[in-house]
Every structure is written in structure tokens, then in C-alpha cells.
């Protein structure tokens, strides 16, 4: 007796819930009394090499590369505002400024905001413009969160220094120290912190002797002190006025002066017990030119032993986010702010942390730089192979059939390539040419061997798709070291994802899992249960917050896999079944949410989204939907994967009509694969709807759909024409029965 749909769904649901409740992670908290936040903008770790002050701070503290991606496009100003907000924020120079309060400024500020500011304070007179920009931004950030929570706890803030260039005031550091009303308790942000230097590009530079005096004064009154060193920004702003030699000379001299100040800060921190955070909100133009957008961050003091920084935002050793600074500062004072997007920084102990960070930086930049050319050319090749496959089916005697064998090998190649890209980072190749050559060569060798020696389609597909699924699943459950460094994984410089499984491999694992299930399936009840468990395991691995952490992927996989199992059981899908599937899916997602919020210290996107919706209500949930929809629309216009998906849809549409009756014969002869292809259509539709880069998910998942379909159709055409290269010679479908198994 075959099991009914209720039994299957109940079993799958119980499996999901039991597994979800068994996995937990832990985190440590930092502590501190006074926090000094030192800004050295346009800086890199390469700049710090051989400088003693920076060297001592790095050696004695915890360091990492920091993603400074704000809301929308990159800008230096947004980098500062995002740090102070604890969320990716909007901000323009016209909305962020700082004035020391006197009677005139106090009246101006009161007239604009309705808030009183007293002498000695520093205010942002453009705060309402900044608030408006963020209310209309992607993430609806609350600018000034650090100051807001510190003031709420009765603590004081201060800001020192500026990046002024002549008459152009650049005082973005105020956005780190201010509260949501734009007020900082103390500060010195005017000309008093500068000195004349006619040999400097802007004629005035930071007076570090005065900055030391102000630091002594402010740390006696304030609990959180933000210090802007300023001069590197002044040099960058003057870059077009300098030749290369002069530019490098000014940077070298400025770095030495900043290094001396850093050394002094460290010495004072050792005496006073300060927690020191040094960060770079925005990279230099030279770093941007080579795609090295991740910038330095160093935390020195109580609670941060020597090593690498990590956080719940990234779950990566040596890479954190700028939005993690706000919760770290608040956490040092024992203040919780769960609604902030960022998560507190913590240390992973490690000696020689600078060498490791430099290695991480090189690997990250290489992956980012190699990603586009390799994936673009792979996508173009997929399109060409699919079109050639259609031509081979419609015109099998084209060029006397000499393209049939290469086309079959090419179809195997495009299915094999994602698995090769997953393993490729193990070799640690440092050049684009080396990575591309090895990836192509390995895929060609595997494809030729598979085409020559695997004697039937079922064994061929099971070998390729099964290996792909196993590699992806094993990598995720063992930490995701290959995915995070694969060009088909995700890019921490972009900052869309730092851990788990990205939408590219999510589509791959969904497509390969269904084709593997088709190749493994039979009518025996025990085997169907094995397939259900295997597919359920894929959903768990993809969606569980401590593993793949891809909610859209979990929804896509769950619905596609359940659809496939119901079709395999010959259960007609009506309203009752749809309702049951919907309830089961909600229950699975709820189990993930409970595990994320209750059992896991490092919350994933799921918990963050639920928390945001709870705080902001429907507006927060609507903002998430709008952001994902905007990303999908953007990718639909610009990504090569859109062309892959359109090609797959077009070719599939043609095959429904030509050759006449081919699909009817294929579906009748291979009903298991027909059911799998239908499930992949469901996966593509759901993936497009529920993922913020759904076109990528649908396109990568469709690779296994179209490749397996074209391969089988080509084999069927060869059989019907009695080709000498047909399956009777051990090339394709030998060993298949009338049910495709």
C-alpha cells in the first residue's frame, strides 16, 4: 500500500523539526568602561606595515577587514552614517555637518529641530534632512543610534577633529557620536584642531598635539569619544592636484604622524583601561581601483584578546561589517540594542593576525575579481550549448552529425562545472588565467570520461548530480570553506551574503538534487522514503540558520521537493493538498525561526527580518519585500543569468512543438524525469518569487533541467534514427525500462 500525502508530509515535518532543534552556536560578549573610536579614513593594512604604533595595536588587539557597504551606492559619507546607525544607512554631505554650539548655532539648531543645545556641545544642523533620507532609503536606518542609546543610559558622547579642505567642511564623524536628534555632548570640530602647513596640499592639517590635549580633556568627561584624524581624507580629496610622487610622499608623512598618535592612544588606553576601536569607513582610490574595498578595523582593550575579529553578521574570521561597530560600543557598556542590524564583535584568538588578514584580503579580492569573467563566460557557454542542443535535435544530420558527440559532452560539461568551481579554491590559485584554465580542463576531463565510460543516462545523471549535491551539502555542514571562496559562491566585498549558501549554489543544489532523485528513484516504497529523507536533508542544510541560512532557498526546495514526491506517489494535487503543503511549510519555517531566535547566539537574516517586522510592524515587512523586489528588477535588467533563463524557456517552448510529438514520447518513456522536470519548473517559479536575486536562482537551477532534457531528447532521436552512435552501442539509454528507471 502506498503512503498517502498526509503521512509523507507529517514525516517530513517531524524530520525538519527534530533536526532544527539540535544545532546551536555560542558567542562571547565584550566589556569596557570608556570607548575611544579612532577614525583613520582611506587607510589599508598595507599602509600599516612597518609602522610601530599600528603594529603594536594590531599585535595586542583583534583585527579584521571591514565591509563598509551602506544603503544604495557606496560613498564615504554613508560609511560614517552607517557606523553610527548600526544599519546600512543613507547620507549625503549636505545632510551631515558639525558645528560647535554658540548662541547663534543654538538658535539655528532650535529653529530647525525644536531641540535645545548648550555651549560646548556639537550638533548636526542638517539632522532632519538626514532622517528624511533614511526614511526613504532601502533599510529605513535610524541615524545616530550609538548616541541615542548612550544618552538613554545616562552616558556622554564627544567628537574631535575634522577633514575640512579649505572652505569645504567635511565633518562626517559627528554622525558616529551624535544621537537621533543630532546632538553630541562635547566636542572640538573647528579650526582649533588644525594647524597651518603650507607644504600640505590643503594648507592646513590636523594638529596632533592639540588633538592629544582635547582627547585628555574629553575622556575625562565623556564615555564615548570619536576622534577623526582627517589628513588622509584631505590628501585623497586633493588627489587630482598631485602627481604620483607628491601624493605618495604626503601619504607616507601623514601615516607616520597618525602612527605616532595611535601609539599615544594605545599607551593611554593601557593606563586608563580604555577600549579602543580604530576603523576606516571608506577605502582609498587606489584600493578601490584594485577592488580592495574591505577596510581595516582593530579593537584593543578588555574583552578582546589578540586575534581575528568576527561577528554574528558575517560569521567569518577576519571579516566583519561596519554596522557591527554600534552594537559593539553599546555592548561594552552593557546596553542591548537588538533592533540594530549589526552584531557585537568578538575575538577568535590567533597569533600573527596581520599575516592572516593579509591572506584573507588577497583571497577575497581575487575571488571578487575572478567572479565576473568566469561566471559570465560560463553563462555564455551555457547559452551556446543549449542553442546547439536544440539545433542538434531539430537537424540531427547537420554537418553529417559530427556535432552530436561534442554536444553531448558539452551538456555534461555545463552540469559538471559548478562542482569543479566549488572544489577549485582548495588549490589556492592566484591568477584569473590559472583558475579558468584549471576549471575548464578539469571539467573537460570529467565530461569526456563520463560520456565515454558511463553507459546509461541514469548512471550518468546520478554520478554528476549526486556528486554535486554531496559536495555542496558536505561543504555547508563543515563550515562552508569552499563555497565562501568559490566564484560561484558569494562576494563579501559586495556584502549581500557572508555565510551559508548563496543563490547561485542554491539553484544548483536544488536542480541537481531533483535530477539525482529521478536517477535514484524506483517504485519501491522504502526507496521513496530514502529519497524523501535525502531531499529533506537538503532543505534542512540550505535553510537552517546555522548552516545554509537561505530562507528563500528553503522555501524553494521545500515546495519543489514536496511537489516531486507527491507526483512520484501519483497523488493528485488539489486544494486540500495545497493547503496541507502550505501548513507544513509554515511549520518548517517557524521551526527555523524558533531555532534562530532561541537556540542560536548568532542570529541569521530570518531572525533579523522577524525582529524588524516586530519593531516596525507592516512597514518593516513591506520594506523587506520592496528591497527584494528592487534587487530582482535590477538583476533582470543587467545580469547575464537573465539571458540564460530566457534561452532555457525559449528552447523548452520550441521543443513542445518540434519535433512533433517528441515531448509526448519522452514523457511516456521517462515519466520519472518528466516529474523531475515539472518539479524544477516549480522550483524556478518559486525561486524567482521568494529570493532577492531570484533570476540567478532560477537560471542556475535550470542548468540541470535543460541539460538533462536535451541529453535525453538527443539520445531518443539517435535511437529512432538507428544511428551507429546510438544507445545500442552503449551510448546513452541502454538499461532503461519503459518507465525511465
| Nearest of 95, 102, 117, 98 to residue 39 by alpha carbon | 98
Ramachandran sector of residue 350 (left: φ over 0; alpha: ψ -120 to 50; beta: rest) = beta
The reply to whether 228 and 375 lie within a common domain is: no
Residue 1, number of CB atoms within 10 A of its CB: 4
Instruction: Return the CATH number at 304.
Output: 3.40.720.10
Does one domain contain both 446 and 298? no
pLDDT of residue 30: 35
Give me the number of domains the chain comprises: 2
pLDDT at residue 630 in the model: 65
Same domain? 254 vs 190 = yes
Identify whether 230 is part of a domain: yes
User: Do residues 337 and 408 both lie within one domain?
Assistant: no
pLDDT of 606 reads 64
In a domain, 29, yes or no: no
Longest Cα separation, the chain: 96
- Give a yes or no: residue 113 inside a domain: yes
Q: Decide: 492 and 292 in contact? Cβ < 8 Å.
A: no
Among 316, 343, 370, where does a domain finish?
A: 343
The residue ranges of the chain whose pLDDT is under 70 are 1-32, 522-526, 605-636, 719-741
Continuous segment of H or E residues that includes residue 501: none
At residue 615, the pLDDT reads: 56
Let me know: does 665 contact 683? Beta carbons within 8 Å. no
Domain-embedded: residue 158:
yes
In 21-126, which residue ranges form alpha helices assigned H by DSSP? 45-48, 52-60, 76-85, 103-113
Residues 314 and 451 placed together within one structural domain of the fold: no
Range of the domain at 660: 5-23+362-729
What residues contact 493, with CB distance under 8 A and at least 6 apart? 67, 291, 293, 294, 364, 365, 368
Q: Is the pTM of this model over 0.85?
A: yes
Say whether both 303 and 368 belong to one domain: no
Instruction: Tell me how far apart the alpha carbons of residues 711 and 695 are, in angstroms, rounded to a whole number.
Output: 24
Question: Is the same domain home to 63 and 90?
Answer: yes
In the three-class reduction of DSSP (H, G, I as helix; E, B as strand; rest coil), residue 297 is classed as: strand
Same domain, residue pair 333 and 438 = no
3-state secondary structure of 235: helix
527 and 598 co-located in one domain: yes
Distance CA 573, CA 5 (A): 10
Residue 547: φ, ψ to 5° = -120, -105
> Does residue 222 fall inside a structural domain?
yes
How many angstroms separate the CA atoms of 507 and 699, rounded?
7
Same domain, 301 and 448: no
Of 343, 374, 408, which residue sits at a domain end? 343
Q: Give kind and range of the element (H or E) at residue 562.
A: helix 551-568
Q: What is the DSSP letter of 598?
A: I
Q: What Å distances lie between residue 646 and 342, 504, 652, 653, 735, CA to CA?
A: 38, 17, 10, 10, 34
* Within a domain: 351: no
Could you tell me if residue 238 is inside a domain?
yes
- The pLDDT, as a whole number, for residue 529 is 85
Task: List, for residues 101-111, the tens digit of each pLDDT value.
Answer: 999 999 999 99
Q: Which residues contact 728 (CB under 8 A, 6 or more apart)?
A: 719, 734
CA-nearest of 216, 231, 303 to 265 is: 216
User: Is 320 found in the same domain as 396?
Assistant: no
Final residue of a domain: which of 309, 343, 377? Answer: 343
CA dihedral (251, 255, 256, 260) in degrees, to 10, reads 160
Within-domain flag for 12:
yes
Q: Cα–Cα distances in Å, from 318 out to 7, 60, 297, 349?
A: 46, 15, 10, 11
Are 276 and 418 members of one domain?
no
Residues 6+ apart with CB under 8 A from 172: 76, 77, 80, 81, 91, 93, 96, 163, 281
Amino acid at each position: 500500500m502506498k503512503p498517502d500525502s498526509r503521512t509523507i508530509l507529517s514525516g517530513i515535518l517531524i524530520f525538519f523539526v527534530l533536526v532544527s532543534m539540535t544545532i546551536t552556536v555560542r558567542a562571547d560578549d565584550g566589556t569596557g568602561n570608556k570607548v575611544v573610536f579612532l577614525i583613520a579614513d582611506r587607510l589599508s593594512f598595507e599602509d600599516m606595515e612597518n609602522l610601530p604604533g599600528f603594529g603594536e595595536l594590531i599585535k595586542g588587539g583583534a583585527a579584521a577587514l571591514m565591509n563598509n557597504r551602506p544603503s544604495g551606492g557606496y560613498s564615504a559619507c554613508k560609511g560614517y552614517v552607517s557606523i553610527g546607525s548600526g544599519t546600512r544607512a543613507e547620507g549625503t554631505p549636505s545632510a551631515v555637518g558639525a558645528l560647535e554650539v554658540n548662541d547663534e548655532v543654538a538658535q539655528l539648531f532650535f529653529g530647525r529641530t525644536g531641540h535645545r543645545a548648550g555651549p560646548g556641545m556639537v550638533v548636526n544642523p542638517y539632522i532632519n534632512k538626514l532622517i528624511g533620507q533614511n526614511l526613504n532609503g532601502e533599510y529605513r536606518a535610524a541615524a545616530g543610534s550609538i548616541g541615542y542609546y548612550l544618552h538613554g543610559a545616562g552616558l556622554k558622547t564627544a567628537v574631535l577633529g575634522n577633514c575640512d579642505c579649505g572652505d569645504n567642511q567635511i565633518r562626517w564623524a559627528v554622525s558616529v557620536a551624535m544621537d537621533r536628534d543630532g546632538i553630541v555632548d562635547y566636542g572640538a570640530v573647528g579650526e582649533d584642531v588644525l594647524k597651518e602647513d603650507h607644504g600640505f596640499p590643503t594648507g592646513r592639517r590636523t594638529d596632533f598635539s592639540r588633538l592629544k590635549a582635547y582627547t585628555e580633556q574629553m575622556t575625562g568627561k565623556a564615555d564615548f569619544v570619536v576622534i577623526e584624524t582627517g589628513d588622509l581624507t584631505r590628501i585623497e580629496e586633493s588627489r587630482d592636484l598631485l602627481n604620483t610622487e607628491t601624493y605618495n610622499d604626503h601619504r607616507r608623512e601623514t601615516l607616520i604622524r597618525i602612527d605616532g598618535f595611535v601609539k599615544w592612544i594605545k599607551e593611554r588606553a593601557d593606563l586608563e583601561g580604555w577600549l579602543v576601536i580604530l576603523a576606516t569607513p571608506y577605502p582609498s582610490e587606489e584600493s578601490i581601483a584594485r577592488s580592495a574595498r574591505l577596510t581595516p578595523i582593530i579593537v584593543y582593550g578588555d574583552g578582546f584578546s589578540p586575534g581575528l575579529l568576527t561577528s554574528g553578521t558575517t560569521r567569518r574570521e577576519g571579516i566583519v561589517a561596519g554596522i557591527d561597530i554600534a552594537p559593539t560600543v553599546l555592548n561594552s557598556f552593557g546596553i542591548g540594542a537588538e533592533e540594530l542590524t549589526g552584531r557585537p564583535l568578538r575575538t577568535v584568538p590567533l597569533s600573527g593576525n596581520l599575516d592572516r588578514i593579509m591572506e584573507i584580503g588577497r583571497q577575497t579580492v581575487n575571488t571578487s575579481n575572478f567572479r565576473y569573467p568566469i561566471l559570465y563566460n560560463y553563462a555564455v557557454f551555457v547559452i551556446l550549448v543549449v542553442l546547439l542542443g536544440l539545433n542538434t535535435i531539430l537537424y540531427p544530420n547537420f554537418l553529417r552529425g559530427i556535432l552530436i558527440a561534442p554536444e553531448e559532452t558539452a551538456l555534461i560539461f555545463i552540469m559538471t562545472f559548478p562542482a569543479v568551481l566549488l572544489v577549485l579554491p582548495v588549490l589556492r590559485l592566484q591568477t584569473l588565467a590559472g583558475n579558468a584554465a584549471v576549471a575548464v580542463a578539469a571539467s573537460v576531463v570529467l565530461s569526456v570520461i563520463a560520456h565515454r565510460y558511463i553507459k546509461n543516462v541514469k548512471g550518468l545523471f546520478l554520478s554528476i548530480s549526486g556528486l554535486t549535491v554531496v559536495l555542496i551539502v558536505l561543504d555547508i555542514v563543515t563550515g562552508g570553506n569552499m563555497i565562501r571562496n568559490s566564484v560561484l559562491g558569494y562576494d563579501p566585498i559586495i556584502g549581500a551574503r557572508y555565510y551559508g549558501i548563496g543563490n547561485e549554489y542554491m539553484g544548483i543544489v536544488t536542480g541537481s538534487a531533483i535530477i539525482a532523485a529521478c536517477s535514484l528513484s524506483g517504485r519501491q516504497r522504502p526507496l521513496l522514503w530514502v529519497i524523501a529523507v535525502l531531499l529533506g536533508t537538503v532543505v534542512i542544510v540550505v535553510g537552517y540558520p546555522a548552516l545554509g541560512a537561505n530562507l528563500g532557498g528553503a522555501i524553494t526546495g521545500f515546495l519543489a521537493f514536496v511537489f516531486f514526491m507527491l507526483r512520484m506517489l501519483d497523488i493528485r494535487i488539489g486544494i486540500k493538498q495545497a493547503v496541507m503543503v502550505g501548513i507544513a511549510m509554515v511549520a518548517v519555517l517557524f521551526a527555523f525561526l524558533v531555532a534562530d531566535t532561541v537556540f542560536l547566539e548568532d542570529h541569521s537574516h530570518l531572525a533579523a527580518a522577524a525582529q524588524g517586522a516586530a519593531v516596525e510592524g507592516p512597514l518593516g515587512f513591506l520594506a523587506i519585500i520592496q528591497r527584494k523586489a528592487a534587487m530582482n528588477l535590477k538583476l533582470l535588467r543587467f545580469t547575464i543569468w537573465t539571458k540564460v533563463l530566457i534561452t532555457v524557456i525559449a528552447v523548452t517552448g520550441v521543443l513542445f512543438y518540434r519535433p512533433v510529438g517528441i515531448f509526448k514520447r519522452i514523457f511516456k518513456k521517462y515519466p520519472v524525469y518528466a516529474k523531475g522536470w515539472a518539479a524544477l519548473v516549480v522550483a524556478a517559479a518559486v525561486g524567482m518569487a521568494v529570493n532577492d536575486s531570484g533570476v540567478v536562482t532560477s537560471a542556475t537551477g535550470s542548468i540541470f533541467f535543460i541539460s538533462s532534457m536535451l541529453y535525453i531528447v538527443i539520445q531518443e532521436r539517435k535511437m529512432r534514427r538507428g544511428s551507429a552512435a546510438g544507445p545500442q552501442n552503449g551510448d546513452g539509454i541502454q538499461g532503461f525500462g519503459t518507465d525511465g528507471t
